[in-house]
């Protein structure tokens, strides 16, 4: 999330861009041809910005933005031909068509991820192309209105189209900026970097993805509508064709994917390049323009694989290194925790009613019964450990509780309310936080931003979310690192950051998945202190571990899982002596050896 000052700077930059384009159009460029090309540059920039809004921010690559572009163009063409509808009405209306199309497309397609999503998106414009051919709209020419040209957006002066297209670019840039600076953008970025973590942090990923696609579809369609007005001829191939979808993607990738200015940079460079090559070489050596264009793109990709924008940014920041906050010494970071290192009295707190209850919970993966007949009641206020050897089903149990997996059969209640089958974000909203075995950070965000993502659940507005996040960081003793990029943290810091993210919406129940794994001995104590503090603050904690040693020191109640079944439950010291537990961990042979002295 950008700071307010940065957002203000960006708005000035957008204004500056608009003025520059106007100067270019009204002062520098004289011929109608250059005005036409400039108009196209701007329209393609809008399409690419629309693409970037979905694919750049959320990481869901769309190969099918031509669907929206084409629907916009056809909305305008059909509106004018059959209803004598002026583009002044039909172009804005195209946005609505695009948004509805986005909803219809997103509903089935967001079940897919990664390459599958991208490929499925490819199908929509191709399918629509055939539909429009079948409907008999092979070639629609917008009629020339000689009586009232202005009423039908038909200007003598080509600069009028530049102004209209520029208006769209500015609007698309402002929308993108607004999205970037809100929880919307944060949610999309979180989805891009780690969708399960985002969902577990309480972000309704499906809703944000749908909103992004609808908004993106609306912007693409409105630009497509204006494209129809400018070109005056609409055919299925030119508006639904593969080249349109590719154009949206190439411009953004070239300019800098996921950045505000990337798509605009891409359009400003590539569209005139292609057209210039057509003009210079098209009649001399027909076809060579495509080859030169391709080579130019390859060269740039070699030089700037992430896009011109990011490359330029890297260059600039290398020349004048941004003032980074000085790294605090290791000692200072640990201070809040170190102060509490003295072992807390092992006081089995007075336990309340059952907070989380699992009844006969099971789940299968193919033929493997990963969980089988689990009955579990976790009382309020406890520090509850779940142990078991690798593959026992511990993480699966967490996944079932927080909604990544739906149990079959089984019922789960939280404070007496059923939560079976809810989405992870909904479970999160009801007060269940969780961390992951492998820390699921958003590596390109700062520590603070990582935690803010978790704060959106409970915060009334973005400012409050920031405050809550800072408080949570303070609680785990990570305040000093709040500005660091998550990708550069140590394991201990990552664990603490994830803990803070889960803590920020004030959960009733915390699910900690092997939070202690992979930590050095010194680091371990710090984390243990934080966990104990959670319990002291009244949060019920359930922690998974497979190393018993640390757990015996920490928890007041043990449950042991093996092969998806509960095999023992009780006080830590009793459980570790249970023969079935020893067998599960060490094999049958050891049961006898351990059992003898016990007799």
Partner 1 sequence: MNRKLTRRSVTAGLALGALASPGLGIGIARAQTKAVKIAMIAPLSGPWARQGQLLRMGSDMAVDDINSQGGIKALGGAKLEIIYADAGDSTEKAKNAAQRLLSDHPDLVGGSGAWLSSFTLAVTEVTERAQLPWLTLSYSDAITNRGFKFVFQTSPTADWQASETLPTAIKLAEAATGKRPKTIGIIQDNTASPVSFGKQLREGGGLDKVGLKPVVDQIFTPPLSDATPLVDKVRSGKPDFLLLLTSAMPDCKLVLEKLDEFKLSKGKVPLVGNGAPFGSPELLKTIGPELLEGLLFSVANWPMKGQEEFIERFKKRTGEPFLTQDGLCGYGDVAILKEALELAGAADKLKVAEAIRTMNLTTGPAAQSFPGPIKFDDKGRRQDVPMIFAQWQKGMPVTVFPTELALAKPFWPSV
Q: Which residues bind partner 1 (CB under 8 A)?
A: 31-34, 36-37, 40, 130, 133-134, 136, 138-139, 141, 143-144, 146, 156, 231-233, 235, 237-238, 241, 243, 275, 278-279, 282-283, 286-287, 289-290
Kindly state the smallest distance separating residue 148's Cβ from partner 1, in Å: 15
**Minimum CB–partner distance for residue 476 and partner 1 (Å):** 56
Cβ of residue 273: shortest distance to partner 1, in angstroms?
13
DSSP-assigned letter for residue 438: S
Give CA–CA dist 262/310, Å, rounded. 8
**Shortest distance in whole angstroms from residue 145 CB to partner 1:** 10
Burial 67-90 (b: 16+ CB within 10 A, else e): bbbbbbbbbbbbbbeeeebbbeeb
Shortest CB 235 distance to partner 1, Å:
5
Closer of 60 and 240 to partner 1 (Cβ) = 240
Smallest distance, partner 1 to C-beta of residue 231, A = 6
Q: Smallest Cα–Cα separation from 92: which of 77, 80, 75? A: 75
CA distances from 250 to 11, 65, 178, 257, 554 (A): 25, 12, 24, 9, 54
CB closer to partner 1, 116 vs 130: 130
The phi, psi pair for 470, rounded to 5°, reads -60, -40
233's enclosing H/E stretch is strand 233-234
Q: Is 18 exposed, middle or buried (0-12, 13-18, 19+ CB in 10 A)?
A: middle
> What's the min distance (Å) between Cβ of 282 and partner 1?
3
How does DSSP classify residue 247? H
Cis peptide leading into 409, omega within 30 of 0? yes
Quick one: 36 or 171, whose CB is closer to partner 1?
Answer: 36
Q: From the centroid of its chain, how far is CA 52?
A: 13
Q: Which two tokens stand for residue 476?
A: 């785990």
Smallest gap from residue 81 Cβ to partner 1 (A): 10
Question: What does R_g of the chain's alpha carbons equal in angstroms?
Answer: 29
Nearer to partner 1 (CB atom), residue 131 or residue 325: 131
CA 207 centroid distance within chain: 11
Query: What span, in angstroms and rounded, lies between the C-alpha atoms of 35 and 544?
Result: 65
Tell me the closest approach of the beta carbon of residue 38 to partner 1, in angstroms. 11
Residue listed under structure tokens 């694989």: 305
| Rounded least distance, CB 279 to partner 1, Å | 5
Phi then psi for 368, rounded to 5 degrees? -85, 125
Q: 């099971």: which residue's tokens?
A: 362
Is residue 565 within 8 A of residue 369, CB to CB? The reply is no
Helix axes 87-109, 66-83, angle to 10 degrees: 140
- Closer of 145 and 444 to partner 1 (Cβ): 145
The whole-angstrom separation of Cα 222 and Cα 212 is 16
Q: Which is nearer to partner 1, 156 or 417 (CB)?
A: 156
Question: Pairing state of beta strands 383-387 and 540-545?
Answer: parallel
Cβ atoms of 403 and 395 closer than 8 Å: no
Tell me how long the chain is: 599
For residues 128 and 138, give the distance between their C-alpha atoms in angstroms, rounded to a whole number: 12
Nearer to partner 1, 249 or 370 (CB): 249
Whole-angstrom Cα distance, residue 423 to residue 110?
A: 15
Residue 120 Cβ vs partner 1, minimum distance, rounded to whole Å: 21
The smaller minimum CB distance to partner 1, of residues 15 and 131, is found at: 131
What gap in Å lies between CA 580 and CA 7, rounded to an integer?
Answer: 61
Give the whole-angstrom CA distance, residue 152 versus residue 139: 20
For residue 541, give every residue at least 6 positions away whose Cβ sits within 8 Å of its Cβ, in sequence order, or none: 382, 383, 384, 509, 510, 512, 531, 534, 535
CA distances from residue 460 to 70, 203, 447 in whole angstroms, order as listed = 39, 14, 21
Of 286 and 352, the one with the shorter C-beta distance to partner 1 is 286
Q: How far is the CB of 286 from partner 1 (least distance, A)?
A: 4
- Degrees to nearest 5, angle at CA 575 with 573 and 578: 120
Least distance between partner 1 and beta carbon 132 (Å):
10
- How is residue 415 annotated by DSSP? T
Give least dist CB 227 to partner 1, A: 8
């Amino acid at each position: 999330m950008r700071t307010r000052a940065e957002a203000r700077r960006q708005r000035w930059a957008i204004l500056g861009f608009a003025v520059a384009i106007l100067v270019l159009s009204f002062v520098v460029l004289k011929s109608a041809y250059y005005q036409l090309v400039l108009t196209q540059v701007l329209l393609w920039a809008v399409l690419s910005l629309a693409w970037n809004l979905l694919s750049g921010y959320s990481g869901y690559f769309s190969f099918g933005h031509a669907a929206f572009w084409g629907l916009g163009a056809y909305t305008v063409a059909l509106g004018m031909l059959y209803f004598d509808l002026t583009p002044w009405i039909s172009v804005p209306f195209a946005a609505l068509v695009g948004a509805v199309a986005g909803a219809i497309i997103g509903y089935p397609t967001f079940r897919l991820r990664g390459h599958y999503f991208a490929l499925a998106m490819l199908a929509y414009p191709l399918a629509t192309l055939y539909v429009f051919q079948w409907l008999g709209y092979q070639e629609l020419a917008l009629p020339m209105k000689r009586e009232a040209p202005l009423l039908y957006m038909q200007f003598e002066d080509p600069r009028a189209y530049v102004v209209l297209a520029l208006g769209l670019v500015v609007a698309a840039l402002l929308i993108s900026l607004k999205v970037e600076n809100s929880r919307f953008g944060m949610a999309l970025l979180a989805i891009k970097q780690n969708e399960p973590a985002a969902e577990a942090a309480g972000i309704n990923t499906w809703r944000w993805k749908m909103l992004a696609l609808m908004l993106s579809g609306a912007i693409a369609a409105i630009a497509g509508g204006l494209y129809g007005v400018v070109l005056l001829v609409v055919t299925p191939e030119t508006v639904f064709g593969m080249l349109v979808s590719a154009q949206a993607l190439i411009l953004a990738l070239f300019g800098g994917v996921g950045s505000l200015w990337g798509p605009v940079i891409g359009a400003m460079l590539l569209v005139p390049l292609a057209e210039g090559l057509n003009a210079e070489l098209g009649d001399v050596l027909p076809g060579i323009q495509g080859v030169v264009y391709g080579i130019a793109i390859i060269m740039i990709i070699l030089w700037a694989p992430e896009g011109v924008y990011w490359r330029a940014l890297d260059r600039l920041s290398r020349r004048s290194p941004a003032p980074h906050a000085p790294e605090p010494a290791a000692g200072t970071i640990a201070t809040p925790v170190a102060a509490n290192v003295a072992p807390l009295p092992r006081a089995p707190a007075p336990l309340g009613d059952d907070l989380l209850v699992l009844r006969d919970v099971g789940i299968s993966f193919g033929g493997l019964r990963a969980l089988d007949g689990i009955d579990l009641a976790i009382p309020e206020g406890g520090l509850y450990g779940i142990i078991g050897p690798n593959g026992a089903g511990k993480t699966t149990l967490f996944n079932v509780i927080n909604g990544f997996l739906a149990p079959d059969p089984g019922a789960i209640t939280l404070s007496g309310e059923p939560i079976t089958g809810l989405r992870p974000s909904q479970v999160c909203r009801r007060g269940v936080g969780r961390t992951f075995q492998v820390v699921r950070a958003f590596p390109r965000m700062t520590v603070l931003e990582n935690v803010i993502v978790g704060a959106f659940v409970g915060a009334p507005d973005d400012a409050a979310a920031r405050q809550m996040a800072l408080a949570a960081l303070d609680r785990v003793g990570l305040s000093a690192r709040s500005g660091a990029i998550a990708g550069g943290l140590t394991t201990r810091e990552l664990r603490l950051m994830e803990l803070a993210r889960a803590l920020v919406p004030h959960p009733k129940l915390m699910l900690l998945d092997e939070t202690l794994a992979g930590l050095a001995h010194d680091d371990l104590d710090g984390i243990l202190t934080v966990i104990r503090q959670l319990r002291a603050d009244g949060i019920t904690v359930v922690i998974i571990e497979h190393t018993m040693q640390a757990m015996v020191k920490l928890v007041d109640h043990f449950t042991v899982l093996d092969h998806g079944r509960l095999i023992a439950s009780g006080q830590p010291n009793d459980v570790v002596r249970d023969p079935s537990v020893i067998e599960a961990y060490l094999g049958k042979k050891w049961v006898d050896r351990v059992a003898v002295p016990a007799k």
